[in-house]
Structure 1
Amino acid sequence: MTRVRQCDLAIVGGGLAGGLIALALAKRRPEARVLLIEGGETLGGNHVWSFFESDVTPEDRLLIGPLVAHAWDGYHVVFPGLRRRLDVRYNSITSERFDQALRETLPAERVLTGRKAIGVGPRSVVLADGTRIEAGGVIDARGPGDLSTLECGWQKFLGRELRLAKPHGLQRPVVMDASVDQADGYRFVYLLPFGTDRLFVEDTYYSDTPTIDPALLAGRVSAYAASRGWPVADSAREETGALPVVMSGDFEAYWRSGGAHVAKAGMRAGLFQPVTGYSLPDAMRTARFIANLSDLSAPGLHEALFAFAKRAWDERGFYRLLNRMLFKAAEPDERWRVLKRFYTLDESLVERFYASRSTNMDKARILLGRPPVPIGRALRAIAG
C-alpha cells in the first residue's frame, strides 16, 4: 500500500542549494510545512564549499554564518613570477558542519535522509521505498541537468584532507598555486589550512574533459606535500568532482532536461559561476529569493525560479566569453598565463568577478590590452 505524506513544499536534494533553501524558509517562514529529501544518509554529501566574504550580503551572512567551519583573514595566489596576498575574508563550509547545523535548526520530522527520489513532478515526489509526497510545490535541487545541452570545459579536482606529522606553517589558504608543473590544461593546487597539522590539498585542472584518474591525482597530491616538506601521517577524507565551465549553450533546453515544468535550484537550474563552476553565492541568493516569495505553489515557483535563473544566464554572457578565450584561444599548457594576468588586477575587481557582479568598467579592464593568448584565436573566441 502506497504511503502518502503531505506538505507545503518538498525540496528534493539535501546538498548546498536545497539545504540553504530549507534553512532560509525555516528562519523566514517557520509556519510553512517544508520537507527536505536527500538520497544519501547525510545532508551535504562529501564536500568542502568555500566563499569570499564579498560573495554574500550581510543579511545572507547571518544565515550562513553557523555553517562556516573555518575562516581566514585573506588568501594567497601563486604563479611563476607572481605571489600575491588578497585581504578579503575567506570561509569554508564542510559537509559535516553543514549536516550538523541543518539538523540543529530544522525539525527532525522535516528532514528525510536515505530516501532516494525516483520520480519528481511539479506537485509530487515518489520515493524508492514507495512513499508518495504530495506538495503544494516541489523544488528539484539534485544536481546538474543534461550538460550535453551546454558547451563546457571542466574544472576537475581531487582533494584530500591530510593530517601531517609536523606543522605545515600556513596561516591562510592558497586558492591557486600554479607554480606546479602544468598538465591536462591549466593545473593548480588549492590549500586550506584546517589546523596547524591538518591541511586540505586539492589538485585541480581546467581541462577539456571531465575524466578523472583518482590514482594519478592522489599521487600528485602526495608528491606536492612531499615537495613542501610536509610528512603525511594519514588522510582523513577524499573528495573528487568535475564542475562545468560553460562556454555557450541552450539554457531553455538545459532547464527542460531537468523536468519541463518542475521548479529547480542550484546546478539543476544552471545557477553557478560560469568560470569557476562554484555555486555557493547563487545558492545563497536563491534561498533568499525563495524565502521572500509570496507564492510557493507549483506554478508560481516554476515561473519565478525559471525567470530568476534565466536572468542570471542572460547577465553572464561575459563570463562565458572569457571561458571561450580560456579554452579555445589559449594552448592548454599556457592557460595559466590568463589567470596570472587576471590576478594582477585590482582586488575589488577580483571580488566582484567571483561574485558574478563585474561592472562594465571591470569587463573593459579584464579585456584591455594585449591578451596573453594568440590574437587571432582570441578574436575568434570573442566572436563565438
Structure 2
Amino acid sequence: MSDITIFGGGLAGGLIARALVARRPEIAVTVIEAGERLGGNHVWSFFDTDIAADDRWLVDDLVTYRWPAYDIAFPKLRRTIPQGYNSIESEQFDRVLRGELGARIVHGDADNVIHNGAVIDARGPGDLAHIDGGWQKFVGISFQFATPHGIERPTIMDATVEQIDGYRFVYVLPFGERELFVEDTYYSDTRNLDSDVLRARLIEYVAARGWDAQPGNRFESGVLPVIMAGDFEAYWRSTGDGAKAGMRAGLCHPTTGYSLPDAVRLASAIAKSDDLSADGLARLTHDHARRAWGQRGFYRLLDRMLFRAGLPAERYRVLQRFYGLPEPLIGRFYAGQSTLGDIMRTLSGKPPVPFWPAVRELFR
C-alpha cells in the first residue's frame, strides 16, 4: 500500500488526513503545511443538511458553535428558518487534528520536502483565468460585549444594509453571550478588497444597532470566486495531473462559496477507496470533481442571473425571492443537491430581475 502525502493542511487536506488516519490506519499519512497552524485563520460554517449522517463523525467534534435555526433579513422579507447551523473555528480545527496527527504534520514548503508514494495537492485555487464569474469578498471581525447581547441565532444574511459594490449583506454569528462575529460581504464584479473601509462599515453597523461593543482579536478577510461558467478540464490541468482536493480541484459551491460539504464528501470517498495509489487517487479526485462540476450548472445559471441580468444595486432581489421558497428547497440548495423540482420551482414565476436579460441568461 502506498504512503500518502497531502500538500496543504487547510480544511480539505486536513479532513482527508483525518479520514485516512481513522479509517485506513495501515497507510502512512503525512501533511505538509506551510503555515504555523492547520486551517489558517478561518471560520467555516455549514447547515445540518449539508452533510450525510454517515460522515458527521468527520466534523462533529470540530464544531465550536451550534444553533437550531437562523434568521435572514431583506427589505421585504424577514424570516427565521428552523435548520441547524454550525461553525468551526480554525483554532479548534488545529487543536483536534494536531492531537490526532501528531508527528504526521510537517511544517514547510511542500515543493522542498522529500516524500514517497502518492500525493494529494490541497494548496488552494488553480488558475482562475479558466473560470468566468464574479467575486464574493468579505471582512469579518469579532466584537466583545461588556454585558450579554441577547442574540440567540445567527443572521445568515442581513441585506437591509445599503447596497454597495453589488449585492451586500452582513452576517452575524453569536459566539457566546458576550461575543458576536460580524462579517460584511459583497457579491462584486471586482476582486478589489479594501479591508480598512469594510472594517469601518462593520463598526458603523454595530453602532447603528445600538450594540455597545468593541472590536475583538479575530479578524478574517477573503475573496472567493462566484462561478458562472468555465473550462473544468483546463482548470484541472493548470496545476498538473495528480490528485487534488478543495479549491485545487474546483470543489466549492458555485454560488455560496461554501467548501466544507465538498471537503467532507471527498475525504469520505478517499477513505473508502480500494485504490489509493497515485494513479488511483488522481482518477478518483478528478472524476469526483468533474462529476460535481457537471451537476452544478443550475447554480452557475443563477450566478449569471444574479450578476448579469440586473443592476448591481438590485441583485439582492434575487436572494430575497429565493428565501421566500420552502425550507427543504433552501436546505438542498446550500448542500448543492437541488432536485429537478427545486430547479423548476426556483425558476418559475416572474423573475426578480428584468425579464429579457433573465431569459437571455437562461438560454445562454
Q: TM-score range by the shorter chain?
A: over 0.9
Q: Which of 158, 169, 176 is the aligned partner of 1:177?
A: 158
Aligned 1:24-35 pairs, distance under 5 A: 24-35=19-30
Matched, 1:267 2:262: no
Q: Which of 8, 16, 29 is the aligned partner of 1:13?
A: 8
For residues 232 and 207 of structure 1, the distance between their equivalents in structure 2, rounded to whole angstroms, comes to 29
**Are 1:166 and 1:230, in contact at CA under 8 Å, matched by a contact in 2?**
no
* Cα RMSD (Å): 1.2
Deviation at 1:303, TM superposition (A): 1.1
Deviation at 1:166, TM superposition (A): 3.0
**Are 1:186 and 1:206, in contact at CA under 8 Å, matched by a contact in 2?**
yes
Matched, 1:195 2:179: no
Aligned 1:162-241 pairs, distance under 5 A: 162-241=143-222
**Are 1:146 and 1:257, in contact at CA under 8 Å, matched by a contact in 2?**
yes
Deviation at 1:22, TM superposition (A): 0.5
Matched, 1:55 2:35: no
**Are 1:165 and 1:230, in contact at CA under 8 Å, matched by a contact in 2?**
no
Partner SS, residue 203 of structure 2: helix
- Tell me what 2:259 maps to: 279
- Tell me what 2:328 maps to: 348
Aligned 1:92-103 pairs, distance under 5 A: 92-103=87-98
For residues 62 and 295 of structure 1, the distance between their equivalents in structure 2, rounded to whole angstroms, comes to 23
Q: Which of 27, 39, 63 is the aligned partner of 1:44?
A: 39
The CA deviation string for residues 143-185 of structure 1, in whole angstroms up to 9 with x for no partner, is 1101110101111100001112332221010000000010000
Deviation at 1:192, TM superposition (A): 0.4
For residues 18 and 250 of structure 2, the distance between their equivalents in structure 1, rounded to whole angstroms, comes to 21
Matched, 1:110 2:104: yes
The AA in structure 1 aligned to 2:148 is P
> Which 10-residue stretch deviates more, 213-222 or 298-307?
298-307
Matched, 1:145 2:139: no
For residues 81 and 322 of structure 1, the distance between their equivalents in structure 2, rounded to whole angstroms, comes to 21
**Are 1:163 and 1:236, in contact at CA under 8 Å, matched by a contact in 2?**
no
Deviation at 1:232, TM superposition (A): 2.4
TM-score scaled to structure 2, two decimals? 0.98
For residues 243 and 56 of structure 2, the distance between their equivalents in structure 1, rounded to whole angstroms, comes to 25
The AA in structure 2 aligned to 1:367 is L
For residues 323 and 173 of structure 2, the distance between their equivalents in structure 1, rounded to whole angstroms, comes to 19
For residues 208 and 147 of structure 2, the distance between their equivalents in structure 1, rounded to whole angstroms, comes to 14
- Tell me what 2:116 maps to: 134
Partner SS, residue 244 of structure 1: strand
The AA in structure 1 aligned to 2:147 is K
For residues 84 and 298 of structure 2, the distance between their equivalents in structure 1, rounded to whole angstroms, comes to 26
**Are 1:156 and 1:243, in contact at CA under 8 Å, matched by a contact in 2?**
yes
For residues 110 and 357 of structure 1, the distance between their equivalents in structure 2, rounded to whole angstroms, comes to 35
> Which 10-residue stretch deviates more, 279-288 or 157-166?
157-166
**Are 2:141 and 2:215, in contact at CA under 8 Å, matched by a contact in 1?**
no
Matched, 1:303 2:283: yes
For residues 119 and 50 of structure 2, the distance between their equivalents in structure 1, rounded to whole angstroms, comes to 27
TM-score scaled to structure 1, two decimals? 0.93
The AA in structure 2 aligned to 1:221 is L
Which runs of 4 or more aligned residues in structure 1 lie more than 4 Å from their structure 2 counterparts after TM superposition? none
For residues 294 and 78 of structure 1, the distance between their equivalents in structure 2, rounded to whole angstroms, comes to 47
The answer for unaligned runs of 5 or more in structure 1 is: 1-6, 119-126
Partner SS, residue 284 of structure 1: helix
For residues 41 and 221 of structure 2, the distance between their equivalents in structure 1, rounded to whole angstroms, comes to 9
**Are 2:76 and 2:320, in contact at CA under 8 Å, matched by a contact in 1?**
no
Partner SS, residue 133 of structure 1: coil
Partner SS, residue 307 of structure 1: helix
For residues 159 and 149 of structure 2, the distance between their equivalents in structure 1, rounded to whole angstroms, comes to 19
The CA deviation string for residues 171-226 of structure 1, in whole angstroms up to 9 with x for no partner, is 01000000001000000000000011101000000111111000100000100010
Matched, 1:357 2:337: yes
Partner SS, residue 283 of structure 1: helix
**Are 2:174 and 2:180, in contact at CA under 8 Å, matched by a contact in 1?**
yes
**Are 1:13 and 1:37, in contact at CA under 8 Å, matched by a contact in 2?**
yes
Count of aligned pairs: 364
For residues 345 and 379 of structure 1, the distance between their equivalents in structure 2, rounded to whole angstroms, comes to 21
For residues 166 and 207 of structure 1, the distance between their equivalents in structure 2, rounded to whole angstroms, comes to 36
For residues 312 and 287 of structure 1, the distance between their equivalents in structure 2, rounded to whole angstroms, comes to 14
Deviation at 1:101, TM superposition (A): 0.8
Partner SS, residue 343 of structure 2: helix
For residues 207 and 44 of structure 2, the distance between their equivalents in structure 1, rounded to whole angstroms, comes to 25
The AA in structure 2 aligned to 1:112 is V
For residues 284 and 177 of structure 2, the distance between their equivalents in structure 1, rounded to whole angstroms, comes to 46
**Are 2:301 and 2:361, in contact at CA under 8 Å, matched by a contact in 1?**
yes
**Are 1:203 and 1:221, in contact at CA under 8 Å, matched by a contact in 2?**
yes
Aligned 1:330-341 pairs, distance under 5 A: 330-341=310-321
Matched, 1:159 2:140: yes
